[in-house]
Amino acid sequence: MVEVTHLIEIPMAVEIPVGPQHPALHEPLLLKLYADGERIIKVDVMTGYNHRGIEKLTEKNTFYRDIFIIGRVCGICNAVHTNCYVRALEYILDVDPPPRAKYLRVLSMELERLHSHMLVLAVTAELAGYETLFMYLMKDREYVMKSKEILTGQRVMADYMMVGGVRRDIDEVKTSRILDIIKRVEERIKYYHKIFQEDVTINRRLRDTGRIKPREALAYSLVGPVVRGSGIKTDIRIQDKYDAYGDIPFNVITEDYGDSYARAMVRFGELYESINMVRYILTHLPQGNPVPDERKLPRRFPVGESYAAVEAPRGELTYYVSSSGGDKPYRVKIRTPSLNNIVNSAFTYVDQMIADVPIILGSFDPCISCMERAVITDLRRGVRYQVPLKELGGVRK
């Protein structure tokens, strides 16, 4: 007679891959969902479909060539990436750009925040099944892109920052044209804000999905509108007061509830703040020449290191640049907000519905091309300990 000594419990979990190519995702990312019925019990974030090795590439190129390479880390937030890198170089060189250049830098970054937030709000609407709103928001986003083209010379790739200033000036005609566009866009944003508040589809899909408590948000190092949506008041623009953010008045928007809806509302609040900042900059622009002569910039850098941080549309973006003398950086470390927001956020999906996964992911504003210079997997810790058999081989003891 065999005596029963152990009870082996096999949980009935279905593994559902979302991505890397999936209608709900716009960029390659694999979310492995483990679902018990409709409830998710674990999520693995698998990345690595877009790795380009940019950190290594920057070590092989000169400081100035890197400015343009780094602009290509991410299309949507290229101005904040270059601004962060250029400021890291300026800290090493002890260069201070003229006030007009600082204002113009902030202008380009706030225009970028405008179109980036409009994009993610449009995508949120699309993921909630509201494609008409997506189309309308994208239509109005195009006007912001146009104003960026007026300012920097291209609608996406700004290539606007240079050590010691910016790369082109703005005149009266351009100023009034951007002001016109901003006025038109502001009315539209007010209208869309009302729709987000009143519409049945949006409210039912976004409310109470992916709720994050403030304590969790900080413990897992989430950044940007995600952590501000959980009621934590953190903003690098206030903390570092880089460029002209010390002079330009603005508020930090926070929401308390911490669900996808709160994150969308934080983004709407920031849209209004950005519009006010753009208007303030264009009416209070200091005089002077913001464009440095690129032929006279120092080619060799002194030994030194610096750590610059910038509030990108998606959160805190940081660059660590180390120079060992010479014309090439010794080490460039890029930490994008999406890395923390995507990889560390696997815990938010637990106990949610399968259908809510795209909404939650969308509310983090994932930018895969930003994140993918490194690849990570995450296992939910603490709740239920389980490791799929096929993963055991790869886990280091």
Partner 1 sequence: MRPGLIKEIIKGIFVKPVTIQYPKEQTLIEPDFRGRQYADLKKCIGCSLCAVECPANAITMTKIPDEYVAPKTNARRIYPVVDYFRCVFCYRCVTVCPVNAYLVTNEYRLASSTIVESSELSLSTTTKAAGGV
Partner 2 sequence: MVTNLNLVDFLKEYVINSYTMKPNRVVIEVEASKIREVFSKLSETLDREAYYLATIEGTDFPEKNLIRIDYFVNVFGHNTYLVIRAYLPRENPIIPSVIDLVPGALAGELETYDLLGIIFDGNNYLRRSFFVPADVSSKDIYPLRKDSGV
Segment (H or E) for 91: helix 78-93
Q: Interface with partner 2 by CB under 8 A: which residues? A: 46-48, 51, 53, 55-56, 91-92, 214-215, 218-223, 232, 234, 239-240, 304-309, 316, 318, 320, 322, 330-331, 333, 335, 339-340, 343-344, 372-379, 381, 394-397
Provide the mask over 64-103, with x wherever binding to partner 1 is found by CB under 8 A and - wherever it is not.
xxxxxx-xx-------------------------------
Nearest to 243 by CA among 308, 296, 294: 308
Of residues 109 and 232, the one with the C-beta less far from partner 2: 232
Quick one: CA torsion of 329, 306, 333, 237, rounded to 10 degrees?
A: -140
The angle formed by the CA atoms of residues 126, 132 and 133, to the nearest 5 degrees, is 65
Considering only residues 274-313, where is the footprint of partner 1 by CB under 8 A? Answer: 294-295
Considering only residues 5-34, where is the footprint of partner 1 by CB under 8 A? Answer: none
Q: Are strands 39-46 and 161-162 parallel, antiparallel or unpaired?
A: unpaired
- Cα–Cα distance measured from residue 273 to residue 269, given in angstroms and rounded to the nearest whole number: 6
Q: Which residues contact 24 (CB under 8 A, 6 or more apart)?
A: 18, 127, 357, 358, 361
Structure tokens that stand for 92 in this block: 């090493």
Phi, psi at 240, each rounded to 5°: -95, -25
Give least dist CB 272 to partner 1, A. 19
Considering only residues 160-179, where is the footprint of partner 1 by CB under 8 A? Answer: 167-168
Of residues 17 and 153, the one with the C-beta less far from partner 2: 17
Q: Kindly state whether residue 154 participates in binding partner 1, applying the rule CB under 8 A.
A: yes
Q: Which does 257 bind (CB under 5 to 8 A by kind): partner 2, partner 1, none?
A: none
Count Cβ neighbours within 10 Å for each residue of 302-333 and write b for 16 or more, e otherwise.
eeeebebbbbbbbbbbbbbbbbeeeebbeebe
Give least dist CB 250 to partner 2, A. 17
Give least dist CB 68 to partner 1, A. 4
Residue numbers at the binding site for partner 1 (CB under 8 A): 61-62, 64-69, 71-72, 132-133, 136, 139, 142, 149-150, 153-154, 157, 159, 167-168, 191, 194-195, 198-201, 203, 294-295
